[in-house]
Structure 1
Amino acid sequence: MDARKPRLLTGDRPTGPLHLGHLVGTLQSRVKLQDSHECFIIVADLHSLTTRSRRDEIARLPNHVRDVVLDMLSVGVDPSRSTIYLQSGVPAVYDIAILLQMLTPVARLSGLQSIQDMAVNAGLGDADVPLGLLGYPVLQAADILMANAELVPVGADNETHVTLARDIAEHFNDAYGKVFAVPQPTVSATPSLPGVNTVAGGAERKMSKSAGNAIWLKDSPEEVARKVRTLPGPAPGESTGAPLFLFAEAFLRDADELASLRAEYDRGGIGFAAVQDRVIEALEKILVPIRERRAEFAADKHRTEEIIVDGTITARKVAYETLGKVRDAMGLENLWSGLVHATQSRAEERKKPFYHQKS
């Protein structure tokens, strides 16, 4: 019998389609890890409610979920090797999250920069931050620990959340007995990508769905080129750290070519338009097969929905098994079963004939 593969969990919030930042941040790594790991990939629709809970926003979720899954499939996530599932379709995770909340100090959550950034991007003042947003990392920990994931590929902004999940797992295991695997985060060599100047100052911030400064994986070649050309060129000699050259570092696969391009630019031999051209060319080599796979999956009617349902059924089985272990470890299952046993005993007593009670 083959040894069990280590388990991995990662995923995305369905607040819109995925972009190039997702590609270099986690998508490429999760595709590579499919052979060596048992992969659970979450479509985190509950997490989207932390900043998008209006009725009209929830009504857009079906399209967003489909978009996100199509993007995953288009980059090479294989549903025969990865379990793609809908977070809200796994109710046991809610129960696990509530139990983990009891073990997590508020002070540990309120100081997280990622939560503050999400609130700012959603236009929420301090007084308007919902409890669900504050507790976002605990629900994320429940997702990770539900699957007993040992590895969690994340963007740089979520690394602290995996650290919190590690701390919760270790605290739980110490307090109640070994139930959870202790997860380890892994961050891409390109943990974030600058945005494009499709909005004012877009290149000064990381690429983000909510910021409106993204190049979507499903963008046409014309849209990709238009957006890349919004990236200004730095002064000659100042290419290091400039958004345009961060794109070049992320997508030019030949290190010698990248070094040559940078050196030529810095000595004034070429202008920034030539660098933009080279980035666009490199991007198209990556995006053409992605667009083709996306079109194939999109044309297969209801295939995407079938993949999500199949994956969610698998995730539900794993989650309920984990929830049972958590309840056993904490003594909650014994509490409930004791009450049931006492009630059953009382019912049996009531069924006894009168003369047995008198004897």
Structure 2
Amino acid sequence: MMEEMVRVRGLGGEKMGKSDAQNAIGIDWSEDMIFRAYRERGITDPQKVRKNDAGDPYNRCLSVYPMHEIVTDGEKETRIIAGECMRGERGCIDCKRQLAHNIAKVLTPFQERQAALATKDEHIREVLHEGGKRAREIIQPTVEKVRDKMGVVMY
């Protein structure tokens, strides 16, 4: 079975990736940080100069509308956004603000999990330490056999 793949566009319209920090959104970013990044670097329709100008979100909005299609709840909502843009009822800043809100909603569960894990540093270290001890117990007989066959003497 073939899975559907989604190409996530970065702020500049190219594929988003962690190696290009200027083109990506951090998983730990706040809604305000996301909005500022899209406001400054997000690419919208260059022919939509004023809020009431008609825009083309499908063909000329390289990074903002494609991200709406990924993170905004439901096809109906994305069609409303596109329709308002094409009729000149929605400005690019409003679109970027709503996108930042929707991205923040998607990231919230990940941020909460990250925060919960950060408070359990000692527990994580303990789990890793105990796991290492158990792994050494399991592998020790094999290591001893290999040393014996190779003639390696441990002092």
Shared fold per TM-score greater than 0.5? yes
Q: What's 2:107 paired with?
A: 287
State the partner residue of 2:90: 270
- Which residue is equivalent to 1:209? 18
User: Aligned residue for 2:79?
Assistant: 259
| Counterpart in the other structure of 2:9 | 194
Distance in 2 of aligned mates of 1:261 and 1:251: 13
Question: For 1:221-277, what per-residue CA distance to the aligned partner results, in whole angstroms no more than 9, with x for missing partners?
Answer: 332221122213213342115211011101002211110110110121111111111
Contact 2:58–2:65 (CA under 8 A) maintained in structure 1? yes
Aligned AA (1:195): G
Counterpart code for 1:298: A
8 A contact 1:298–1:304 mirrored in 2 = no
Q: What's the RMSD between the two structures over aligned residues?
A: 2.9
CA contact (8 A) 1:195 1:204 kept: yes
| Unaligned stretches of 5+ residues in structure 2 | 48-53, 139-148, 150-155
CA distance in 1, matches of 2:94, 2:130: 46
Paired with 2:129 and 2:67, the residues of 1 have a C-alpha distance of 32
Structure 2 CA distance for aligned equivalents of residues 309 and 237 of structure 1: 59
Structure in which a larger fraction of residues adopt strand = 1
Contact 1:248 1:258 in 2 (8 A): yes
2:42 is aligned to 231
Q: Is 1:224–1:280's contact at 8 Å kept on the other side of the alignment?
A: yes
Q: In the superposition, relative to structure 1, how do residues 307 and 273 fare at CA in structure 2: closer, same or farther (>3 Å)?
A: farther
Counterparts of residues 129-168 of structure 1 (less than 5 Å): none
Q: Is contact 2:30–2:104 with CA below 8 Å preserved after alignment?
A: no
What letter matches 1:251 in structure 2? V
Secondary structure, in 3 states, of the residue corresponding to 1:277?
helix
Which string of whole-angstrom CA distances, capped at 9 and with x for unpartnered residues, describes residues 6-41 of structure 1?
A: xxxxxxxxxxxxxxxxxxxxxxxxxxxxxxxxxxxx
Deviation at 1:287, TM superposition (A): 2.1
Q: Secondary structure at the match of 1:296?
A: helix
Cα distance, 1:270–1:218 mapped onto 2, change above 3 Å:
same
- Residues 298/186 of structure 1: CA separation in 2 closer, same or farther (3 Å cut): same
Decide whether aligned partners of structure 1 residues 266 and 218 sit closer, same or farther in structure 2, where only a CA change above 3 A counts.
same
**C-alpha distance 301-266 of structure 1, shift in aligned 2 (>3 A):** same
Aligned with residue 297 of structure 1, among 117, 139, 148: 117
Q: Distance in 2 between matches of 1:309 and 1:186?
A: 38
- Across the two proteins, how many residue pairs are aligned to each other? 123
8 Å contact 2:72–2:99 — kept in the other structure?
yes
